[in-house]
Structure 1
Amino acid sequence: MLQRRHLVQLAALAPLVPHAQAQTTPTPPALPRRLGRLMPIGGAEDRMQDRIILRRFVELCGGAGARIRVLSAASSDPQGVWQAYQGVFAELGVQHTAHLDIPTLEHANSAAVVDQILDTDGLFISGGDQSRLMALLWETEAFRALHTAFHVRGCCIAGTSAGAAVLSRHMLAQGDAPRLPEKEAAELDLGLGFVSRAIIDQHFSERGRLGRLLSVLAQRPDMLGVGIDEDTALVIERGVGIEVVGRGAVTLLDGRQLRSNFEDVESRERLEMLGVRLNLLPAGRRYTVSPGSESWRRMPPHLREAVALLVAPGPIRG
């Protein structure tokens, strides 16, 4: 069950221009708009050797000159986690890395934190406890600033482990990993809401979480299930496509035609699930929604639709 009240979707208001001015003022040339990218990571990303995922994150943020901030509030040791990533990004040549320190609700509502968020090219959310992080961010000025940074300013947002789970609107908060799907084996809560049509799970193959993700899909068959292996990332580029980076794979479950006995069984009873589609997307593959592209031609129609749902721009939350 979702424990927090639903958000009110913000309307984007365009400035009004007087008719006379619109006729006499030359229109400036349109500047290319940088689209925000999301990078949920399955956890345990390589920080010592090739650093494929972290290098790709830096590239998506704009390279060595990008302003990158690390949000480690999900961790029980936020300072230690920040120092570890600070060293890694420094070794990757990033010139401007800072800690987005949010220890309390007061900090999450402060102008200083909002300014930091709006002035960043890339935000990296560490692992830990996704519920701890949402308790600090929910309905705060920092929460709203994150959406402005992503939707309006084109910030790249990555999250590893718990930081990946929190990117979903419907966040997998906690739960067991049953071998076979069971009713209410896991608990959903509200996350940051950047991925509005999918539920993200991490450490997927390594911790045997297929049964868990199927369990929540039976509860919300209108959603996609995204299971990301360790040292693997899913790059989501709004309106364009997805890319799998790292050493593992992404398991994409599509339950939109699912038929189950979810309403007929008791809590923790085994589930019958018919019509679930499972797609395995290995690292090194890219899937675009551009008709006529090679990847578009390779994809079956149901996968094209699923990828289109993943890359569809979600609403600005506030």
Structure 2
Amino acid sequence: MTHLHRRQLFALLASAALPFGSAAQATKTQGRLVIIGGAEDRKQDRIILRKFLELSGGPNAKIRVINAASGVPDVVWASYQAVFQDLGALNCEVVPMLTRDDASEPNVVSQLAEADGIFITGGDQNRLMQCLWESPAAQAMHRAFHLNNTCIAGTSAGAAVMSRHMLAQGTPTPTPEKDGVSMDIGLSFMPNAIVDQHFSQRHRLSRLLSALAQRPDLLGVGIDEDTALVIEPNQSVEIVGRGAVTLVDPRRMRSNFDNADGGDKLEMLGLQLHVLPAGNRYVLPSNPKNRKQPVLLWDALSMLAKTGPMRG
């Protein structure tokens, strides 16, 4: 065996011996958003949570869990701690942040800034944003995502806060109604969409349409339970899990919203609706002329894949 061949062999063996997390982190080039419709499988295949751990860098990744949305944070943390440990995560900790004051603590800020993966649990998105709004912790999450390629995931309420314009509350109605929902400000990782979760299971299409009637410049994203929308900024959109993502584009819509009174049923004409089933990945073409998707879908996906600017 020549000296050159021996060097090549030793290099190959050394790379094969690297722990999975190190190899994954070495090749990780961009942060991802993993937006989950809630009720993700934590007992069987756990496809979505495995995907999150993989995108975060594998078993050696620093996984940090935010449970501030929950009314029973200790119970929620115990559940996710057990799942991530069972999946092989070696460095998984809860972020000690349950109040507005906690979100300014140096320990909290450093945990988030140095994380490889940040997972936001379910609960109440309003409770979560009362804690995080314009806080040093939220700014640290943005720095981690934009500068350190951190994977940011959120389920249920944690999914709702991903957008800039957050659906705060609203009871599903048989048809869209004016002022049927209230909006607030989320974490702004997704500036061009409104997210609703538990979508098909809780029959929330009309609720999402009521929100879009208020903001027809935004996309509506309805995510089913045990389903995740994975965004690789400006590159691709992937659906993981067992359900589908309903993507509603109202930008060419004609509506009676401005002339309707509160509680009136809404006329919404010309909506574009796309159903993206789990198992599909939509890669945005570098040259729009080479796109395979229909023009309107490609345009909506390109808008969806644009993440917001770093805040703070």
Is TM more than 0.5 here? yes
* Residue 9 of structure 1: aligned partner: none
Alpha-carbon distance between aligned partners in 1 of 2:283 and 2:217, rounded to the nearest angstrom: 22
Does the CA-based 8 Å contact 2:67-2:98 persist in structure 1?
no
Alpha-carbon distance between aligned partners in 1 of 2:28 and 2:285, rounded to the nearest angstrom: 19
Note the 1:14-25 alignment, pairs <5 A: none
Note the 1:138-153 alignment, pairs <5 A: 138-153=133-148
* Residue 73 of structure 2: aligned partner: 78
Alpha-carbon distance between aligned partners in 2 of 1:220 and 1:268, rounded to the nearest angstrom: 17
Alpha-carbon distance between aligned partners in 2 of 1:126 and 1:313, rounded to the nearest angstrom: 21
Alpha-carbon distance between aligned partners in 1 of 2:29 and 2:166, rounded to the nearest angstrom: 27
| Amino acid corresponding to residue 300 of structure 1 in structure 2 | P
* Residue 280 of structure 1: aligned partner: 275
* Residue 240 of structure 2: aligned partner: 245
SS of the equivalent of 1:188 reads strand
SS of the equivalent of 1:131 reads helix
* Residue 15 of structure 2: aligned partner: none
| Amino acid corresponding to residue 307 of structure 2 in structure 1 | P
* Residue 153 of structure 2: aligned partner: 158
Distance 1:32 1:64, change over 3 A: closer
Alpha-carbon distance between aligned partners in 2 of 1:120 and 1:81, rounded to the nearest angstrom: 20
Q: 1:311 aligns with which of 292, 305, 312?
A: 305
Alpha-carbon distance between aligned partners in 1 of 2:294 and 2:279, rounded to the nearest angstrom: 19
* Residue 88 of structure 1: aligned partner: 83
Does the CA-based 8 Å contact 1:175-1:186 persist in structure 2?
yes
Deviations 1:141-171 (A, max 9, x none): 1111111011111110110000000000000
| Amino acid corresponding to residue 178 of structure 1 in structure 2 | T
Does the CA-based 8 Å contact 1:288-1:307 persist in structure 2?
no
Alpha-carbon distance between aligned partners in 2 of 1:213 and 1:231, rounded to the nearest angstrom: 19
* Residues paired across the two proteins, number: 286
Alpha-carbon distance between aligned partners in 2 of 1:46 and 1:139, rounded to the nearest angstrom: 32
SS of the equivalent of 2:248 reads strand
* TM-score normalised by L of structure 2: 0.89
Note the 1:95-110 alignment, pairs <5 A: 95-110=90-105
1:203 aligns with 2:203: no
Alpha-carbon distance between aligned partners in 1 of 2:304 and 2:55, rounded to the nearest angstrom: 18
SS of the equivalent of 1:152 reads helix
Does the CA-based 8 Å contact 2:196-2:223 persist in structure 1?
yes
Larger % of helix: which?
2
TM-fit CA distance, 1:200 = 0.3
| Amino acid corresponding to residue 311 of structure 2 in structure 1 | R
Alpha-carbon distance between aligned partners in 1 of 2:237 and 2:287, rounded to the nearest angstrom: 16
Alpha-carbon distance between aligned partners in 1 of 2:267 and 2:181, rounded to the nearest angstrom: 17
Does the CA-based 8 Å contact 1:161-1:203 persist in structure 2?
yes
Does the CA-based 8 Å contact 1:242-1:286 persist in structure 2?
yes
Does the CA-based 8 Å contact 1:221-1:258 persist in structure 2?
yes
* Residue 299 of structure 1: aligned partner: 293
* Residue 17 of structure 2: aligned partner: none
SS of the equivalent of 2:148 reads coil
* Residue 15 of structure 1: aligned partner: none
The percentage of counterpart residues that share the same residue type is 56
| Amino acid corresponding to residue 196 of structure 1 in structure 2 | P
Gaps of 5+ in 1: 1-30
Alpha-carbon distance between aligned partners in 1 of 2:250 and 2:309, rounded to the nearest angstrom: 22
Deviations 1:193-213 (A, max 9, x none): 000000000000000000000
Deviations 1:39-63 (A, max 9, x none): 1100000000010111111111111
Gaps of 5+ in 2: 1-25
* TM-score normalised by L of structure 1: 0.88
Alpha-carbon distance between aligned partners in 1 of 2:152 and 2:43, rounded to the nearest angstrom: 22
Does the CA-based 8 Å contact 2:285-2:291 persist in structure 1?
no
* Residue 25 of structure 1: aligned partner: none
